[in-house]
Amino acid sequence: MCGIAGYLGDVRSEAEGRAVLGAMIGAIRHRGPDGTGIVAEEGIGLAHARLSIIDLAAGAQPMASADGRLEITFNGEIFNYVELRAELLARGHRFRTHSDTEVILNLYAEMGPACVERLNGDFTFAIWDRPARTLFIARDRMGVRPLFHTTRNGVLYFGSEVKALLAVPGVSAELDPIALDQIFTFWFPLAPRTAFKDVLELPPGHTLTATADGRVAIRRYWALDYPDAADADGLDQRPDAAIADDVRALLEDAARIRLRADVPVGSYLSGGLDSSLITAIARREVSDRLRTFSVGFESAEYDEAEQQMAMVQALGTEHSSILCTTADIGRVMPDVIRATERPILRTSPAPLFRLSGLVRDSGFKVVLTGEGADEVFAGYDIFKEAKVRRFAARNPASTWRPLLLQRLYPYLPRLQNQPQAFLQSFFGRPEDAADPLFSHLPRFRTTAGAKLFYAAETRRQLAGYSAMDELRSLLPERFARWHPLSQAQYLEAGHLLPGYILSSQGDRVAMAHAVEGRFPFLDHRVVEFASRIPPRLKLRSLREKHILREAAAPLLPKTIANRVKQPYRAPEVAPFVGAGAPAYVADRLAPGAIAASGLFDPVAVGRLAAKVSRNGEVGFKDNMAFLGVLTTELWLDAFAPARSSAPPRSVAAA
């Protein structure tokens, strides 16, 4: 795991190119504190910040092929590099290192851009082909590792984080209002759009090929897909036990190859099914005592320490945990926003930011995680909710069907007290049933409450734009033929997962502390196999991840294997109100500061801040609106301070 940066195009001199590369890679040195490297020649520059994990002595980058024809800068890991290296050696390729980086070079030399189809890994890399004068950039299938690019004065610049691009002279940060509107709908901007105007993200499963004469081509090489709902032959029709056995075997191999490293590998342990299963598999593979890490909370509403310790005792791991207080969340939020590089509407990234700090302080660079299981095997409440809503929509007059929704959220006491009329209006609009976004409409509409606080100018810029219409236009042609559960899974795995979970809660907060997360559930073999499992085996009645639970049963205590999912959550607005609120909250939400940024209505924001201050946690819509406004202002502070400058606080208050 590392940070990469580079450019393709004419700069004034090699010295200037080296200076730009130094600034770019210096801006993301936190991703790779173990060393840096730069290659600059006419019309091309590559830079690398190294987090040394494989072949510690000889894996420095940028790395050239043995014949000098190719040069690579690479972020990530290729987990099947051992097998690929053996194949390449048998076909006559030469190796000077034992790194996975050199495997990519030799595979590209043999296959060209098609090499990505042989790679099992989490990666972004850029290869400069000197004879062809061509730059080839690739991103992994599921979008675990990020890659951003922009063009200035005819030069293509790229980097693992936008901070690298902002180090280029002439590149400045400007918030894209359409991206903000998408974040205030989906929690993330729709790739390739980013929060930064004129900065693009290379989407998951895509490659970018650029030539020295300025041509750029972007191609998709992999896409998440599901069988048609009516296509029984496309589904796995074997007995349940046989499917469960194959799920377990695939996960065991996915975890096994993700333990490959020349440094110790630990594991996150949340106390839920997913991380417990991965940790149990890893425990059988390692010869030493496995190190595990977890985060806890003050409130029992969020804390899973009891389940975490049960798994520690069952597996005999050496465990470390960190308590994340509400004050901690408020304290680190500015750092979190600088890491995520976008506004966020949940505080969930903050505890994970602190957890990765614990991992690094414990001397570890690599951890396994159970992330991805909910998307791949249908574990989220939103899948059950959509099933109940469809059931209720078939009989809109029913008075009892909407009440089933209360059973889905026992951990949300406010929902238990809502009248039937509220449940029907919020969850059960019959006219929604034909909408391709049906499963997610309640979430999107709740999130969109943040848009009520736009300033008049922001509304004008967004006049006629619909984020949900844009998402509908991006859905694959086959989407309408999929089973409703597969449709909902696609929205989670194809969009929310790379757009938010793997970004704001994954790569960005972990790599802020130079910690690499590895995701066995996102091995493309697991993802492709799971897509062919009949939906009834993923969501059986209202039992989420049924087939995964069956696969996990031989490896886990029954209390964990059968435990109803508790979604990962953290205190939302409590860290930002009351006597212990950080000083920046009042500063950034003061009327003068809001007016200076120009994105939100100072009066409306003032009313929201007062409501939150009086009542604390006030409900999903207001909580997310409050956090959306606050973190947008923090984003401006971090990346566009001139836009967010405000008069002194006393003047603003007046």
Q: Give the DSSP letter string of 40-80.
A: EETTEEEEEEE---SSTTT--SSEE-TTSSEEEEEEEEETT
Separation between Cα atoms, residue 206 and residue 203, nearest integer Å: 6
Asked if 324 is an active-site residue, the reply is: no
Give me the helix-helix angle, 240-257 and 524-531, nearest 10°: 160
DSSP 506: I
Comparing CA positions, the residue from 347, 333, 244 lying closest to residue 617 is 347
Find out whether 95 and 102 touch, Cβ atoms under 8 Å. yes
Separation between Cα atoms, residue 594 and residue 583, nearest integer Å: 15
Catalytic residue, candidates 1, 2, 40, 199: 2
Separation between Cα atoms, residue 125 and residue 137, nearest integer Å: 6
CA angle 140, 520, 483 (to 5 degrees): 80
How does strand 318-324 pair with strand 291-297?
A: parallel
Residue 342 — φ and ψ, nearest 5°?
-160, 155
DSSP 239: -
Write a three-state SS string for 585-639.
Answer: HHHHHCHHHHHHHCCECHHHHHHHHHHHHHHCCCCHHHHHHHHHHHHHHHHHHHH
Helix (H) or strand (E) holding 148: strand 148-152
Give me the active site residues, please.
2
